[in-house]
Copies of this chain bind each other. A is one copy, B any other.
Amino acid sequence: MLKSAELGLRVGKEEYDRRLPKLRLALLQAHWEIHQGRVPVVVVISGPEISGKGELINRLAAWLDPRGLEVNAFGPPSDEERERPPWWRFWRSLPPRGKIGIFLGSWYTVPIIGRVEGKLGKSAFQRDLDRIAFFERMLAEDGALIVKFWLHLSKKDQKKHLKRDERDPRTRWRVTPIDWKAFRLYDRFAKWSETALLRTDAPHAPWVVVDAADENHRDLAVGRYLLEALRRGADAMKEKSGAVKLARRARSVPAAGRVVPGAEGNVLDTVDLARRVADEAYRKELAKLQGRVGALTRKAFGKKVSSVLVFEGWDAGGKGGTIRRLTEAIDPRLYRVVPIAAPTEEERAQHYLWRFWRHLPRDGRVTIFDRSWYGRVLVERVEGFARPEEWERAYLEINDFEEQLAEHGAVVQKFWLHVSPAEQLRRFRERQRIGFKKHKITDEDWRNRKQREAYLAAISDMVARTDTPSARWTLVAANDKKIARLTVLETFAAVLGKRL
């Protein structure tokens, strides 16, 4: 969830100055409508040190109407607070209907820090997160609009920011030994933050992960997302059907990836499609990796560690060929390829996850899904086969499913085979030309191609919301099929090797 925000987006001063006035005006207008509609708005601003939470809030406060805004920061509890249950301080800070309450830190801080410092066990941590999820659902059901921003810094960027602030005499004061200590815990902090975000990322209280490396980008992205959320909240209220309707509408607040479609970059942009490999090098590397995968899967069988591999990707992305190079490497008694097409009648009579549960491998085996449960948030979302509330709640359902696999000890690894539109077109045409490949190209493929924009948004959301510590996405550069095959074999070997 965090990595997918590292898009390296920058906004220059000129562009910032050009875009800001319009945004401010729109924010003020939306704020006024929220006030009129008496919608309470909870805005959580979280993230690591040095990510600029304070500066961001200063800017937001300047952009919004101060009469309708309350900023709440939480330091160590007062004695008044210590003598009551921990949630008391948050309850008494909640904004009334019609106001925006900005929470710096919030109810996420104590559990995450507790977990990072090892004071909180895994189960207790999860229990805390479940209570948070319950709390936010309760507010949303009561009509509140909830938006949560996580200001993310890559490890490199965090170090850079620390050094920069230390050099500058105006900011040196704010870099303390605690910040450097926090930096040394970066990986632990990132891991448990991501866990917290994933478990509390709900349609009615979505997390928006913003790359905070560039301040202008950070503030504009938050501002624009907040604007969109406020507008939807106000619209829903105007429909006059009260809180229930609002709660339902709040579900369709745009997901992390699509702040303003097309304008904020896409996680697929980070894939280097230009990579190529020469035939000779490919053959040697392939043989080596296949040997490794063969040996590792045998070892995994002995140790009863099963693997669940998921292949998704653009049409003509080369899934079939890639899977073949993988299965060539594995003892045929140990793997199974499950191609996922339209559900059977029996499968349609069950929850959509049912047909994937039934195909789970026994311990020690490898199951390869050629397309998968992600159809729910890809084709079913784009084509409207699933209603918004269905695919929106699917992210949590999928994460829980994969977490159960991981808890049982399975390796879960997911691949997206990425090709450029031009390469895809070339392959489509080639398929039409070459007789034995003709069956592989259908009208549907051409139609899907036209939906590329919608798919891009869906893929961005999918990666943001389901790239979890227990089940990672690897975005595979597949313009060169050979590179794709090597990447998949290498990734699987690395992940499985690490587990054994």
Contact = CB atoms under 8 A, between A and B. Distances in A.
A130 B123 CA distance: 11
A20 interface: no
A34 B364 CA distance: 41
Number of copies: 2
Contacts of A131: 400
A138 interface: yes
A80 interface: yes
A85 B346 contact: no
A337 interface: no
Given A91-B358, A358-B91, A86 B408 contact: yes
Contacts of A397: 138
Interface in A128-153: 130-131, 134, 138-139, 141-142, 144
A313 interface: no
A432 interface: no
A83 interface: yes
Interface in A384-430: 387, 389, 393, 396-397, 400, 404-405, 407-408, 410
Nearest to A247: B389
A50 to B, nearest CB: 32
A360 B407 CA distance: 40
A354 B123 contact: no
Contacts of A244: 387, 389
A275 interface: no
A321 interface: no
Given A126-B127, A244-B387, A38 B349 contact: yes
A304 interface: yes
Nearest to A98: B349
B400 A134 contact: yes
A97 interface: yes
Contacts of A94: 350-351, 354
A16 interface: no
A91 B363 contact: no
A40 B139 CA distance: 31
Contacts of A124: 123
Given A91-B358, A123-B124, A350 B84 contact: no
Interface string A77-99: 00010011111100110101110
A404 B85 contact: yes
A440 B393 CA distance: 51
Contacts of A127: 123, 126-127, 130
Given A97-B349, A354-B94, A404 B87 contact: yes
A250 to B, nearest CB: 15
A121 interface: yes
Most buried by B among A98, A121, A404, A407: A404
A123 B88 CA distance: 22
A362 interface: yes
A362 B127 CA distance: 25
B91 A393 contact: no
A362 B80 contact: yes
A141 B393 contact: yes
Contacts of A387: 244
A304 B349 contact: no
Interface string A83-121: 111111001101011100000000000000000000001
A446 interface: no
A258 B83 CA distance: 40
A180 interface: no
Nearest to A346: B96
Contacts of A74: none
Contact of A362 (B84, B97, B142, B354): B84
A23 to B, nearest CB: 28
A123 B350 CA distance: 32
Contact of A121 (B96, B123, B134): B123
A351 to B, nearest CB: 5
Contacts of A407: 85
A248 B81 CA distance: 38
Contacts of A404: 85-87
A308 B65 CA distance: 39
Contacts of A126: 123, 127, 130
Nearest to A134: B400
Given A91-B357, A244-B389, 10 more contacts: A83-B306, A86-B404, A86-B408, A87-B404, A92-B358, A96-B350, A126-B127, A131-B400, A138-B397, A139-B351
8 contacts: A84-B363, A85-B404, A94-B351, A94-B354, A96-B349, A138-B351, A138-B397, A142-B352
